[in-house]
């Protein structure tokens, strides 16, 4: 087959499509969409579209098909995707995606480009490849895009008259015992209502991937400001902890988050929280400790409460990675000495195994769990994220746990979870008067 060049354009601004004269300059993906679906593709318009596409990639080699996905958002929360493929005029070129979707591309005369544009509503997800004369090309991370938009609750936005707490970036932490030499950034949030009163110690919540929870609209500090001010949740200190960076320069995130042992929780207990406890009056009741995370940070949050139930008992999990992160070489085989002599399967456990562990653990652990995931979450060699979150919810239900599972249409992001954060925290701490036997919620 002759060589082909893949280009995917999806732009990043809102638009309102308007009628277009036949030779008006092409200035947006929305206009290209209008032409391809409703207009005449004459030579002049084709040249303008080709120029627009190529101008987006000035200085780039368009022969490799590894171009960054761009998105032009629409007012309904969705967007328009514009695909372009450089291929010979004799080729048959189309776009194929999951759910048996296929879009035939149109050739731009005298340009060498094939193009097509399609509009998608909010909560659309597309995993695509290109079909050139029956051969599939492209795909992978650059062959995936989606749209996900939510409205903020009032408690997620700064409100006039609400006292603001203090967020302090702490000195970079260097690991000692659990992750020697690993450096990480971390922050402490203290609400305006905090008082150093040993008779009324503050509660505590830890956020994994902490830097991602303290920025922009809907950030956790704003939510805590509002909810504490409205007395919808108790006064609490928040600790935001980033994954570490190894001395070699690589990320230590998977080592910390995807390993289902007490190690990360013990690291928090021995190296991070002592600094917090020294500065502030914190409760020593594990029911007063919550931990929150997204993706692998979410499964890590559950791991912390599961293995260190003496430390954490409240969990918030957004798009949790309850999947199988083992390599094929990590699976035990018949005759493996660990299995035969030690009767140990523990070294191979990952978050994928939690549903079975939850069902078989008796008596049940003292944990209250919030789970969120969307039906358009990841589906790859590690597993199907949405199905595995459903398995977690089913296991928690079977085990009689106090849990709440919110299923949506979103993708692998914490956007949905963050839009619900005020409601989640109110539910999470609703029994903070010491009664912890509330029934299963769903």
Q: What is the CATH number of the domain that holds 288?
A: 3.40.50.1820
Res 413 pLDDT > 90: yes
Q: Counting beta carbons within 10 angstroms of the beta carbon of residue 15, is it exposed (0 to 12), middle (13 to 18) or buried (19 or more)?
A: middle
pLDDT of the residue at 138: 84
Q: What is the mean pLDDT of residues 242-255?
A: 96
Is residue 99 located within the same domain as residue 227?
no
Residue 218 lies in a domain: yes
Is residue 46 located within the same domain as residue 187?
no
The 10s digit of each residue's pLDDT in 32-74 is 999 999 878 899 999 999 999 988 878 666 666 566 667 899 9
Q: Among the three residues 146, 169, 196, which one is the final residue of a domain in this structure? A: 146
Reported pTM: 0.86
Residue 117's domain spans which residues?
A: 5-146
Model confidence band, residue 318 (pLDDT cutoffs 50, 70, 90): very high
Phi, psi of 221 (to 5 degrees): -65, -40
Q: What is the mean pLDDT of residues 237-265?
A: 95
Is residue 80 located within the same domain as residue 114?
yes
Is residue 347 located within the same domain as residue 206?
yes
pLDDT of the residue at 67: 67
pLDDT of the residue at 14: 44
Is residue 161 located within the same domain as residue 131?
no
Is residue 283 located within the same domain as residue 176?
yes
Closest CA to 179 of 291, 265, 274: 265
Is residue 225 located within the same domain as residue 140?
no
Is residue 333 located within the same domain as residue 266?
yes
Model confidence band, residue 343 (pLDDT cutoffs 50, 70, 90): very low
Under 8 Å between Cβ of 309 and 364:
no
Output the six-digit token pair for 83.
């695909």
Residue 440 lies in a domain: no
- If one counts the domains in the chain, the total is 2
pLDDT of the residue at 401: 98
Residue 335 lies in a domain: yes
pLDDT of the residue at 435: 52
Residue 247 lies in a domain: yes
Give the CA-trace dihedral at 73, 78, 80, 85, to 10 degrees: 110
Lowest-pLDDT choice from 25-29, 238-242, 292-296, 356-360: 25-29
Cis check for the bond before 363: say yes or no (omega within 30 of 0). Answer: yes
What are the distances in angstroms from CA 5 to CA 67, 88, 117, 317, 377?
Answer: 10, 10, 17, 40, 28
Q: What is the mean pLDDT of residues 19-40?
A: 82
Res 331 pLDDT > 60: yes
Is residue 207 located within the same domain as residue 303?
yes
Is residue 135 located within the same domain as residue 250?
no
Res 441 pLDDT > 70: no
Q: Measure the CA–CA gap between 238 and 316, rounded to whole angstroms.
A: 14
Residue 438 lies in a domain: no
Res 431 pLDDT > 80: yes
Lowest-pLDDT choice from 13-17, 50-54, 93-97, 315-319: 13-17
Residue 433 lies in a domain: no
Q: Among the three residues 107, 123, 146, which one is the final residue of a domain in this structure? A: 146
pLDDT of the residue at 86: 85
Res 6 pLDDT > 50: no
Residue 434 lies in a domain: no
Output the six-digit token pair for 317.
């999990």
Q: Measure the CA–CA gap between 401 and 322, rounded to whole angstroms.
A: 18
The 10s digit of each residue's pLDDT in 224-240 is 999 999 999 999 999 99
Is residue 290 located within the same domain as residue 394?
yes
Q: Among the three residues 117, 146, 175, which one is the final residue of a domain in this structure? A: 146
What are the distances in angstroms from CA 289 to CA 191, 284, 361, 384?
Answer: 16, 8, 22, 30
Pick the residue with more confidence: 285 or 41?
Answer: 285
Q: What is the mean pLDDT of residues 319-335?
A: 78
Q: Measure the CA–CA gap between 433 and 436, rounded to whole angstroms.
A: 8
Residue 44 lies in a domain: yes
Is residue 385 located within the same domain as residue 305?
yes
pLDDT of the residue at 141: 81
Residues with Cβ within 8 Å of residue 390, at least 6 apart in sequence: 373, 405, 407
Res 187 pLDDT > 50: yes
């Amino acid at each position: 087959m002759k060589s082909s060049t893949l280009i995917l354009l999806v732009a990043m601004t809102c638009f309102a499509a308007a009628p277009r004269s036949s030779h008006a300059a092409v200035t947006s993906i929305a206009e290209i969409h209008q032409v391809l679906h409703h207009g005449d593709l004459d030579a002049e318009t084709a040249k303008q579209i080709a120029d627009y596409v190529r101008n987006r990639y000035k200085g780039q080699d368009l022969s490799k098909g590894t171009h960054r996905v761009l998105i032009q958002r629409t007012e309904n929360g969705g967007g328009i995707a514009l695909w372009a493929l450089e291929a010979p005029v004799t080729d048959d070129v189309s776009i194929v995606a999951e759910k048996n979707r296929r879009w035939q591309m149109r050739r731009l005369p005298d340009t060498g480009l094939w193009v097509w544009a399609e509009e998608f509503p909010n909560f659309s997800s597309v995993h695509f490849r290109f079909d050139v004369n029956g051969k599939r090309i492209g795909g992978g991370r650059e062959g995936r895009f989606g749209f996900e938009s939510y409205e903020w609750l009032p408690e997620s936005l700064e409100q006039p008259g609400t006292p603001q707490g203090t967020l302090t970036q702490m000195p970079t932490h260097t690991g000692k015992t659990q992750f020697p030499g690993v450096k990480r950034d971390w922050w402490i949030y203290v609400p305006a209502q905090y008082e150093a009163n040993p008779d009324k110690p503050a509660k505590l919540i830890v956020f994994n991937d902490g830097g991602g929870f303290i920025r922009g609209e809907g950030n956790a500090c704003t939510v805590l400001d509002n909810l504490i001010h409205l007395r919808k949740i108790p006064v609490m200190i928040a600790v935001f902890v980033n994954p570490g960076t190894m001395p070699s320069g690589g990320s230590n995130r998977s080592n910390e988050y995807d390993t289902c042992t007490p190690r990360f929780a013990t690291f928090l207990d021995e190296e991070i929280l002592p600094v917090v406890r020294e500065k502030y009056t914190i409760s020593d009741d594990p029911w007063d400790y919550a931990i929150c995370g997204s993706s692998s940070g979410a499964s890590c949050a559950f791991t912390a409460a599961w293995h260190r139930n003496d430390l954490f008992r409240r969990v918030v999990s957004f798009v949790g990675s309850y999947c199988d992160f083992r390599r094929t070489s990590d699976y035990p085989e018949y005759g493996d000495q660990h299995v035969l002599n030690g009767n140990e399967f523990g070294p191979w456990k990952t978050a994928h195994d939690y549903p079975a562990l939850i069902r078989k653990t008796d008596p049940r652990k003292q944990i209250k769990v919030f789970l969120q995931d969307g039906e358009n979450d990841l589906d790859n060699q590690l597993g199907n994220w949405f199905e595995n979150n459903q398995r977690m919810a089913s296991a928690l239900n079977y085990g009689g746990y106090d849990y709440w599972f919110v299923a949506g249409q979103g993708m692998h992001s914490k956007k949905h979870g963050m839009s619900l954060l005020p409601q989640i925290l109110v539910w999470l701490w609703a029994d903070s008067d010491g009664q912890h036997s509330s029934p299963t919620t769903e």
